[in-house]
Structure 1
Amino acid sequence: NTHGTLWSAMILPFIEQGSLYQTLEFSEFRNWSTNGTPNETAAGTEIPVFRCPSLPIAAAYNNSGIPQRRPASYRGNGGNEVTSDDRSTIVVPGTKSFEHLNLNGIFYACSAVKFGMITDGTSNTFALGESRTEPEFVKDGQGMDFWYIGSPQVDPCRCTGSNNGTEFSEAAGSTYMPMNLRIRDPGAHGRLMELSFGSYHTGGAHFGMCDGSVQFVSENIDLTLYRNLGARDDGESASINP
């Protein structure tokens, strides 16, 4: 993350969006919601690759000061330790938040994960996961709103280890909790629902592996196996297809 820039912005040159990438202003703090800036324009630009055709919601929302903000179907894998965006609101004792800088996933605050750091194997580790985006649903103060390119609610972390949140869940999820938690356990805490991967497909969701392949994963997958697939270096070379 660089001044609110999300992982999806960094791959723009590789998905034939190089011209849009060139307009981004990485040095400007929180200009994602400043009227008329290139960053605000980028956050409202339709990029079909970031949206699953199954997504049954509006094409755009007026959200966080960004008119016509575009919802995303895919988030980065932040690992299997996270149960909250912020250190002060961790739901499960002994777990972590997205304000920690030493997570075991691929995408998180100030992450700089290289292929050599994925010691469990690139074919055994999630890079991206599908998410059941639902911006108008809120529980325990947490919205199921996921977006691409940039966010005015993610402060520059500057890699100091201090509290710099707050809404990393807009672009990253966790495999600590089961998939599709919002639907499968309506009584779960909203912070856990928010971080859960999932989809509008029947029975599971698509995940992009670190080797570039895509797998449809059943929502009934064993939770231990699912968590192992979310960690890049836990010593468990888990496989979806043993």
Structure 2
Amino acid sequence: YDMAHRSLPPGTVDAKGPIVHLPIGFHHSWIVQILPMLDESTAYQQLDHSQSIYSLANFPVRSYGLRVLQCPSSFTFSGFGSSYAGVHDSREVPIDVDNNGVLFLNSHVRYDDISDGSSHTLLLGEKYIDPTELGWSSGTRATLRNMGSTINLNRPNFTGAQGLPPGFSEDIVSASGDYGGGMFASELPDNAASEDLSIEPDGLESVRQKESKTMGSNHYHMLDTDPKTWLQISDLPIIIPGRPNPGSDVGGFGSEHTGGSQFALADGAVKFLSQNMDATVWQQLGNRADGTLIRDERW
């Protein structure tokens, strides 16, 4: 992306800030911007880049799961979310145009702007996925986080994959409907019931294999309601202890790994950072230009 545009992608795109973590803005995420570089040019081309990411026109792509965004160790991955978030700031502040990270509202950070050095500035990190997140295409706390809290501070108490993001609905297709067993029944000869349909030559699927793949398959669609009704501020998680989320609190990083999380630096290196690392150094790594010399042995 940097070679094509001479800057890193915007963390999120919107007409104004700060970003509120509700489906009421334009909110095209940094992940949307790099889809062609993830070998997802078709998804990128099918987006309507003139409309909100939450528009009906953009739902087919928004409901498209990207495996590259899944941490293999994550038990909270939903298929529509992202295990990874960009660094928008070193502090717990709203996502806005004046953040000191590398991916934030309408940002176009060049490598020359990372005066602390790309090898000493964090770009991306792992995070938990919670049920209020709006998916990988949303430039909200779903894809952006900060260093305002320590790594793995708020480990979720759930143990299963999360469901659908706000605004999604799901239909379970049964085998007795238009899909599944009924779909293949008309293709069978009259004596099929007496044959062993579970065995087919190598490389071919049996009828039962086809049925098992189709039965219980899911169809997703967007709720036929105003996006403003999908999620309320009162639904958002508490980020700052003792204070309800006003809608713009973001939160930090975390993972299912014991003792810390994986992070990508702006130079492309990947490093596991301990949840017990020095808090000052942790925040300095999230600031692209604070002028602080960070010794390698401190992190």
Query: TM-score under structure 1 normalisation?
Result: 0.71
Matched, 1:123 2:95: no
Alignment of 1:190-209 (within 5 A): 191=245, 194-209=250-265
Q: How far did residue 228 of structure 1 move? A: 0.4
Matched, 1:177 2:165: no
What are structure 2's unaligned runs of at least 5 residues?
1-11, 14-25, 157-238
- Residue 188 (structure 1) aligns with: 241
Q: How far did residue 10 of structure 1 move? A: 0.9
CA distance in 2, matches of 1:104, 1:58: 28
Q: The residue matched to 2:28 in structure 1 has which SS?
A: coil
CA distance in 2, matches of 1:197, 1:49: 18
CA distance in 2, matches of 1:25, 1:55: 31
Q: How far did residue 123 of structure 1 move? A: 0.6
Q: What residue identity is the alignment partner of 2:293?
A: S
Q: What residue identity is the alignment partner of 1:113?
A: V
CA distance in 2, matches of 1:230, 1:124: 9
- Please point out which of 116, 128, 148 is paired with 2:136: 148
Q: What residue identity is the alignment partner of 1:97?
A: P
What are structure 1's unaligned runs of at least 5 residues?
61-69, 84-95, 136-142, 155-167
Query: TM-score under structure 2 normalisation?
Result: 0.58
Q: What residue identity is the alignment partner of 1:104?
A: N
Moved over 4 A (4+): 189-194, 239-242
Task: After superposition, give the CA deviation of every residue in 1:138-183 in whole Å (9 maximum; x if it has no partner).
Answer: xxxxx4x36312x3xx6xxxxxxxxxxxxx2122101121111213
CA distance in 1, matches of 2:118, 2:31: 19
- Please point out which of 83, 88, 111 is paired with 1:78: 88
Matched residues, number: 191
Structure number with bigger Rg? 2
CA gap of 1:12–1:187, structure 2 versus 1, over 3 A, is closer
Q: The residue matched to 1:40 in structure 2 has which SS?
A: helix
- Residue 69 (structure 2) aligns with: 50
CA distance in 1, matches of 2:43, 2:154: 34
Q: What residue identity is the alignment partner of 1:115?
A: Y
Higher strand share: 1
- Please point out which of 98, 101, 114 is paired with 2:97: 101
